[in-house]
Amino acid sequence: MESPATGSAEARVPLRWWEAPFSVLGTRGGSGVNKTEQLKAEKDGLDVGADIPRYAELGWEAIEEGDLDRLKWWGVFFRRHTPGHFMLRIRIPNGISNAAQLRAIAAVTNRRGRGIADITTRQQIQLRWIPFEDVPAILGELREVGLVTLQTGMDNIRNIIGCPAAGLTRNELFDASAVARAFTDVFVGDKAYTNLPRKFNVTITGCRENCTHAETQDVALVPATATVEGASVEGFNVLVGGKNGSGGYRIATPLDVFVRPAEAAELCSAIVLLFRDHGSRDARNKVRFAFLVEEWGETRLRAALEARLGRALERAGTDERLPKTTDHVGIFRQKQATLSYAGLSVPVGRITGDQLEEVARLAEAYGTGDVRLTPDQNIVIPNVPDAKLGNLTAEALLKVLRYEPSEIMRGLVSCTGIEFCNLAVIETKARALRIARTLETKIPHGKPVRIHWSGCPAGCGNHTVADIGLLGVKTRVDGHPVDAVDVFVGGSSGAQATPGVRILENVPCDALPTVLEGLIRHIEPERLRRQLRTLSPGGAVVSSRGGSARPRHDDAGRKPILLADEIREGSGKAVVVNGREVAVFRCQGQLYALQNQCPHAGGALAGGVIEADEVICPLHGYRFSVKTGACSTDPTLPAKTFAVVAENGGFTVDA
């Protein structure tokens, strides 16, 4: 019998993925109102698994358009930059792996993946350059070592992230990795969870050192204690509605709920199913869980959860997180006597098949064969006895994947970039490494700095929570389009989370070595974060493409006042009006206002170029009339317009 918080056990994926398609459908929420919803209504994404062998025989060109998207439910991604070759994303809950799994991944990487793989900010590994005819065999090889690629893309619960030193670090309230595995077991292969309105990110952590960027997640369980019947109980406080993309960083909201580890998977499941049943299915850039949290508020959401679970929820306990953060890079004593773990820096997460094979060897030779992946794209080898630690640090691989890297390289994180990603607008990984190596020669060793690169507004490089965050954009130099970035500073997650503030826009990437050297030398990120918290009434500062809203508002305090000369002809500016992000443009001497998020994929229209009376989205080039909002690229995607009215010697937007 199906419980109110979980899906149907009968709908699970069979042990052998090539078996007949599933006969039991999960509950559906909402109706199809956009292309993706229509795609899901026609055929569940998991059902494409039965077609993979046939397509492998026919060749990738025979894959139907809808199935090309549905393959993402199986973690198989078409990439237009590498036609005929696919990316495979491997689910690794909590980033906990082992030598056998790494050897299997290394073998595939070297045999069919051109020798490279990427560690992601969700503690997964992505394989590149995979010919589709090899996909069936590779999925089978991964299955043999306990790995699956299921539901790692599209409208699914993505890999559950957690502390990579779970069960090892002395700075944890308790080991939460079992909860991450238990929740993963609930939804992987279950169609009750494969038709969400949008992707869903979860972290479950007992670490007190804020190593998983909890505030960026749709649901975050963070370590807490509560007093129950006079006794102290360990568990989690629940945060909801965090995100990086779809309009920028929204800091997850405390739900005022405490949950014990034994009940945590059920609670997470209930939250996801509420999102499935009640989340909007309209424009893709407005359907993340954060928007339902904003619409309902924490009180209504908590009441709906209690109704679904059939019991009252305990109120939040004491947050046990520390003010500091860690990346787990270095040599650390474990809670187990005479054992240590070695955290190795993997710059931008790019690793070779040979290096994966060598990590597997070292994990067995010096530890117990266990390996961990981190949210900062690094590797941890645990359970190294004191007697073996010196020999491990002398190994050749640790001169490349260093446990004592420079501060520049240690804090370097990058998304995939345009090399392989369909959404990115600039190249990131190779450029990030090249610039970091230049900075290493100029910046004194010892000054910590986290530099994160995101190639598009989706924010997969977590640029919003870095000391220096770089967001890829396009700009023009001497009339020619070039790769550029917007520069954010002061971002952080943790109990005192602060969104990075955009201080520079459209900086050509060729100028970055000089710009970043100056910033690193003269900025003090933690001091800046303290100042930002002081300036912001709620403790958070929201920055938007096109510049932050000035602290001038109407009498109600909800609408920023724009001055007549504030926006130059042919340009735009982003402002926040009543909590809504709006782009204001000056075109032919008049001011016009549209929603800032592009209806196509969430690009920031305020940063676009204006031609005639149309603004061109900087992400994918969709064109919108600044006067009417009509989209000439796709007439089915109009942008919402708002009136610009005179007020108090300036202008406000009626939104």
| Res 559 pLDDT > 60 | no
| Four-way CATH pick for 9-144: 2.40.170.20, 3.40.50.150, 3.40.1390.10, 3.90.480.20 | 3.90.480.20
pLDDT band at residue 536 under the 50/70/90 scheme: low
Q: Rounded CA gap, 653 and 642, in Å?
A: 7
% of the chain with per-residue pLDDT over 70: 89
| Res 31 pLDDT > 50 | no
Pair 166, 176: CB distance under 8 Å: yes
Topology of domain 330-404, per CATH? Answer: Alpha-Beta Plaits (3.30.70)
- The pLDDT of residue 561 is 60
Residues contacting 551, CB < 8 A, separation 6+: none
What is the CATH code of the structural domain delimited by 410-535? 3.30.413.10
- The pLDDT of residue 375 is 98
Residue indicated by tokens 């904003």: 294
Amino acid occupying residue 158: R
Tell me what the mean pLDDT of segment 142-166 comes to: 98
| Res 270 pLDDT > 60 | yes
Q: Cα-Cα-Cα-Cα dihedral of 78, 82, 86, 89, to 10°?
A: -90
Judged by DSSP in three states, 356 sits in helix
Report the range of poorest mean pLDDT among 253-267, 293-307, 422-436, 540-554. 540-554
pLDDT band at residue 505 under the 50/70/90 scheme: very high
Pair 275, 196: CB distance under 8 Å: yes
Q: Looking at the whole model, is its pTM more than 0.85?
A: no
The domains of the chain are located at 9-144, 177-319, 330-404, 410-535, 572-654
- The pLDDT of residue 6 is 41
Q: Which residues are catalytic?
A: 89, 198-199, 455, 460-461
What is the CATH code of the structural domain delimited by 572-654? 2.102.10.10
Residues contacting 624, CB < 8 A, separation 6+: 594, 598, 605, 614, 615, 617, 630, 631, 632, 638, 639
Tell me what the mean pLDDT of segment 370-396 comes to: 98
Q: Which helix (H) or strand (E) holds 393?
A: helix 386-393
| Res 15 pLDDT > 50 | no
Helix axis angle, 261-278 to 177-187, nearest 10°: 40
Judged by DSSP in three states, 568 sits in coil
| Res 29 pLDDT > 80 | no
Pairing of strands 590-595, 580-587: antiparallel
Residues contacting 244, CB < 8 A, separation 6+: 216, 454, 458, 459, 460, 462, 464
Tell me what the mean pLDDT of segment 256-276 comes to: 98
Tell me the residue length of the chain.
Answer: 655
| Torsion sign, CA atoms 394, 399, 401, 402 | positive
Judged by DSSP in three states, 398 sits in helix
Residue indicated by tokens 């443009």: 585
Pair 462, 455: CB distance under 8 Å: no
Q: Which is more confident, 370 or 528?
A: 370
Rg, C-alpha atoms of the chain: 24
Nearest in space to 248 (alpha carbons), one of 606, 616, 584: 606
Report the range of poorest mean pLDDT among 106-110, 131-135, 596-600. 596-600
pLDDT, the chain, mean = 89
Q: Which CATH class is domain 177-319?
A: alpha beta
Tell me what the mean pLDDT of segment 60-75 comes to: 97
Judged by DSSP in three states, 223 sits in strand
Pairing of strands 641-647, 590-595: antiparallel
Per-residue model confidence as pLDDT tens digits over 420-479: 998 899 999 999 999 999 999 998 777 889 999 999 999 999 999 999 999 999 999 999
| Res 4 pLDDT > 70 | no
Residue 460: Cβ within 10 Å count: 24
| Res 159 pLDDT > 90 | yes
Residue 38: Cβ within 10 Å count: 12
Pair 288, 246: CB distance under 8 Å: yes
Q: Rounded CA gap, 372 and 377, in Å?
A: 10
Transcribe 152-202 into DSSP letters. Answer: -SSSSB-PPB--TTTTT-TTBSS--HHHHHHHHHHHTT-GGGS--SS-B-E
9-144 and 410-535: identical CATH topology: no
Judged by DSSP in three states, 134 sits in helix
- The pLDDT of residue 369 is 98
